[in-house]
Structure 1
Amino acid sequence: MDWIGIELIVGVAVVALLLILLWAYRVANRLDRLHVRTDLARQALVAALDRRAVVSRAIAVALRERDDAGLVALGVELAGAADLAEAAPFDDREDVENELSILLGKVGAATKGITPPPVELIAEISDAQTRVIMARRFYNDAVRDTLALAGRRAVRWFRLGGHAPLPAYFEIVDRVTV
């Protein structure tokens, strides 16, 4: 082989290597941005869940001020569930949030026909529930996108995700009606 042939082969190999490195850099950068997006969505979800717990405590206080013993007991139980939900670490929060959702559904059923209805609390909990639903969807969308890219064979082989732990979906009952 002459020098021109060797130079051409080396040149093609260098260009191919540069293209592979550029692809790997772009994929690793995209995966990093997806992890950031997931972290931000997680923070928004935690904030929405915390807000729902605060509104649940306000509902519990309103229930404990009623003359009905059943509503007072439900208010005490709701306050305890809200405290547990807010104090739970994120990885263990699904179960306690489901319990809180079930209790909120029971409150809705138990307070039908009560006069005067707590209009401002109904609006607050409805808004808090809607924000939780939206935040959970955004978080789960970010998790789905992150897992889709991180699960590609080439990404795993070249360890383009580094050592970042993979996120997990957050599944809770959106609204409970009893």
Structure 2
Amino acid sequence: MITIPVWGFIVAVVLILAIVAGVWASGMASRLNRLHIRTDSARVSLEGALHSRSSVVATLQPELGQDVAHVNRVALRATDMGARSEAENELLSELDSQVWTNPNFLEASAKVDLAARFYNDAVSDTLSVRSRPLVRVLRLAGRAPLPEYYEALLSSPAPSEDSADNGGSAEG
């Protein structure tokens, strides 16, 4: 019969636990890396959709060309989504009512909404993993900044008095 000293058994258990913890940490770090890549990819798609909508706005309402150029100069950074969101909302608030009903604008806006949903889902998944205590303690996310949600506050025109008088409503 083979006998293992107590200290040998304790060393074996500690070694096994260390290996399991290392494998878990490595897997979690890889998952976080993939989530950050997914978030970055979704942000790039969102930025492309926003640029496309800006191009449509510039075509439909050329007098807003400088405003469109300003909006496109505001970078869409993962750590400062609010600046671009505010710029987009300012631009959208200046649009004529005909632009809001134009099929090209509606299509571009639908793409922005879809891209924003994908981006916000990726941010939500990333933040849920990064908020775990062991992930924070072990700094498994490295130096990657915490991504922020994209919040488009204005997605449709405010109801005008004319549409309220005519029984119409603005959907949002």
TM bin, normalised by shorter chain, reads 0.7 to 0.9
2:92 to 87, 92, 101: 101
Worse-superposed segment, 86-95 or 31-40: 86-95
**Residue 87 of structure 1 aligns with which residue?**
73
State the one-letter code of the partner of 1:142.
A
Partner Cα distance (1:128, 1:47) in 2: 10
Partner Cα distance (2:150, 2:53) in 1: 16
Worse-superposed segment, 27-36 or 4-13: 4-13
1:3 Cα deviation after fit: 4.5
TM value normalised by structure 2: 0.81
Correspondence list, 1:1-178, <5 A: 3-61=4-62, 76=63, 78-90=64-76, 91=80, 92-104=83-95, 107-108=96-97, 111=98, 122-172=102-152, 173-178=154-159
| 3-state DSSP of counterpart to 1:47 | helix
* Matched-pair identity in %: 36
What's the C-alpha RMSD, in Å, of the aligned pairs? 1.7
Partner Cα distance (1:3, 1:141) in 2: 52
State the one-letter code of the partner of 1:38.
T
User: Do the aligned residues in 2 keep the contact of 1:129 with 1:175 (CA within 8 Å)?
Assistant: no
Worse-superposed segment, 158-167 or 86-95: 86-95
| 3-state DSSP of counterpart to 2:5 | helix
Cα shift readout 1:80-99 (whole Å, capped 9, x = no counterpart): 32111111122321111011
TM value normalised by structure 1: 0.79
Moved over 3 A (4+): none
1:177 Cα deviation after fit: 3.6
Which of the two has greater helix per residue? 1
**Residue 165 of structure 2 aligns with which residue?**
none
State the one-letter code of the partner of 1:158.
L
Partner Cα distance (2:86, 2:67) in 1: 11
Gaps of 5+ in 1: 62-75, 112-117
Aligned length: 150
Partner Cα distance (2:139, 2:73) in 1: 35
Worse-superposed segment, 3-12 or 17-26: 3-12
Partner Cα distance (1:96, 1:32) in 2: 30
